[in-house]
Amino acid sequence: MPGLDEVAIARLARARDAHLLRSLRETARRGGGLVERLGKELISLSCNDYLGLAHDPRVVAAAHQALDDYGAGAGASRLVTGSHPLYARLERLLAELKGTERALVFGSGFLANLGVIPSLVGAGDLVLADRLCHASMIDAARMSRATLDVFDHNDLVHCASLLRRERPRHGRCLIMTETVFSMDGDRAPVEELAGLARAHDAWLLTDDAHGLGVCSSRAAEIQVGTLSKAVGGYGGYVAGSACLIELLIQKAHTLIYTTGLPPATIAAAAVAVEIIRDEPELVRKPLENARVFTAALGRRPAESAIVPVVVGTAERALEASALLEEHGFLVVPIRPPSVPAGTARLRFAFSAEHDPESIARAAALLLSHGYA
Ligand SMILES: *Cc1c(COP(=O)(O)O)cnc(C)c1O
């Protein structure tokens, strides 16, 4: 077998040749939708902090206070001594916002999916996933050892036909989708999928990562989400019935065998969720800003805070991103395998902090250079 470095070098060279090499670029996020890269200040149109809550003084103050009161870390798994009293408040707020009996907080959205899905289905069961579901959902379904089948994006007819064909041959059945698709910004027909689930004796799981705080959906029996996007902090959650949560506390490995969140992170999230609950005008802004952008491009109104501008090849996406950066905007190119080959794109994510003039300027740049 070739040496480890030899294998790595060959694989990296292949990725570089295909314009698919990824790298970590140092980026310091400031408040006000701004980031700093290589000493240069840019307007970020790539962050998921849709409401600017990561820098909200009330959120930051709550984190400071918890840090002073309770220290830097949780010290153990939630099942041991890491279930800080602050969790109860955050989970009550999340359940209230999601319209469920209870909620359960995990270390991240990724960990929530990895914990929830294999706790509910296993060998002999069936998972039907929208083709564009997030990697964490697909990885979780594979980990579960259930049969994984994929239906075409937002295609209820295809989903129903898979249910008719595959459902009778399996034990339990879980349908899963995102509420707002992270790379496309469109929304799933959640109510209709919930109807299909009921009709075919299946459960529906949604991942509301990009919905909560912008255009959340509450129609699914099992609602996963994250505290790292509109909530502005870190962590993940699942909201559902009291029995579901009790089961997950017994079963979910990514809850049981990992350390609890730092108290400061929980305190920050609780205040951020209260702001989402109490400030509907703030919650409306990301979508309004996204619609300023789609209007300037002459497109259909945005369905969420995310608007993709598909440019085709990975190379072209890199060029478009570099052009915007020259003009003071940070818009990260999204390339395969995050999106299908030939659909490399700039993924614009609008926040409450952006101003319409800058948004119009970015749109004009894309139009004048033939990217949109
Ligand atoms: C971002 C994202 C996640 C991961 O959430 P983290 O809290 O960042 O781990 C999971 N699912 C979807 C759909 C996402 O967009």
Q: Which residues, including other chains, have CB under 8 Å from residue 205's CB and lie 6 or more apart?
A: 116, 117, 120, 137, 174, 175, 176, 177, 220, 221, 222, 223, 224
pLDDT of residue 345: 97
265 lines ligand 1 (CB under 6 A): no
pLDDT attached to residue 2: 95
Topology annotation, domain 74-261: Aspartate Aminotransferase; domain 2 (3.40.640)
Stretch 250-256: mean pLDDT, rounded?
98
Strands 102-106 and 40-44 come out as unpaired
Mutate to test the pocket of ligand 1, among 117, 227, 229 (most ligand atoms within 8 A of CB): 229
Residue 133 pLDDT level (bands cut at 50, 70, 90): very high
Average pLDDT over residues 169-181: 98
- Between the CA of 184 and the centroid of ligand 1 the distance, in Å, is 14
Q: How much is the pLDDT for 87?
A: 98
Contact (CB, 8 A) for 48 and 210: yes
Q: What is the DSSP string of 289-346?
A: HHHHHHHHTT-PPPSSSEEEEEEESHHHHHHHHHHHHHTTEE--EE-TTSS-TT-EEE
Average pLDDT (101-113) is 98
Model confidence pLDDT, tens digit, residues 323-365: 999 999 999 999 999 999 999 999 999 999 999 999 999 999 9
CA of 124 to the centre of ligand 1 (A): 27
- Does ligand 1 have an atom closer than 6 angstroms to the CB of 181? no
Model pTM? 0.96
- Packed helices 356-368 and 314-326: angle between N→C axes, nearest 10 degrees: 130
Region of residue 235 (left: phi > 0; alpha: psi -120 to 50; beta: else): left
Q: How far apart (Å, rounded) are the C-alpha atoms in residues 296 and 35?
A: 24
pLDDT at 204: 98
pLDDT (average), residues 76-81: 96
Residues with catalytic roles: 48, 134, 178, 182, 207, 210, 229
Residues 154-170 have a mean pLDDT of: 98
Cα–Cα distance measured from residue 54 to residue 33, given in angstroms and rounded to the nearest whole number: 10
Distance between CA 291 and CA 88 in Å, rounded? 37
DSSP assignment of 81-109, as one string?
T---THHHHHHHHHHHHHTSSEEEEES-H
For ligand 1, the distance from its centroid to the CA atom of residue 209, given in whole angstroms, is 6
Name the band, by pLDDT with cuts 50, 70 and 90, for residue 93. Answer: very high
Nearest to 233 by CA among 278, 258, 209, 266: 266
Q: What percent of the chain has pLDDT over 90?
A: 99
Rounded CA gap, 208 and 237, in Å?
Answer: 10
Task: Sketch the domain layout of the chain as residue ranges.
Answer: 21-54+279-368, 74-261
pLDDT tens profile 28-66: 999 999 999 999 999 999 999 999 999 999 999 999 999
Nearest to 276 by CA among 44, 67, 47, 59: 59
Residue appearing with tokens 């969420």 = 304
| Averaged confidence pLDDT in the chain | 97
Query: Per-residue pLDDT averaged across 279-286, rounded?
Result: 98
**Measured in angstroms, how far is the CA atom of residue 227 from the centroid of ligand 1?**
9
Average pLDDT over every residue of 282-309:
98
For the stretch 80-89, contacts whose Cβ atoms lie closer than 8 Å and that sit 24 or more positions apart, written own/partner, are 82/259, 82/260, 83/260, 84/260, 84/263, 84/266, 86/263, 86/266, 86/267, 86/270, 87/260, 87/266, 89/270
The bridge status of strand 329-330 relative to strand 40-44 is: parallel
Q: Averaged over 269-287, what is the pLDDT?
A: 98
Among 226, 304, 338, the mutation site with the greatest number of ligand 1 atoms within 8 A of its Cβ is: 226
Q: Considering the domain 21-54+279-368 in this protein, what is its CATH number?
A: 3.90.1150.10
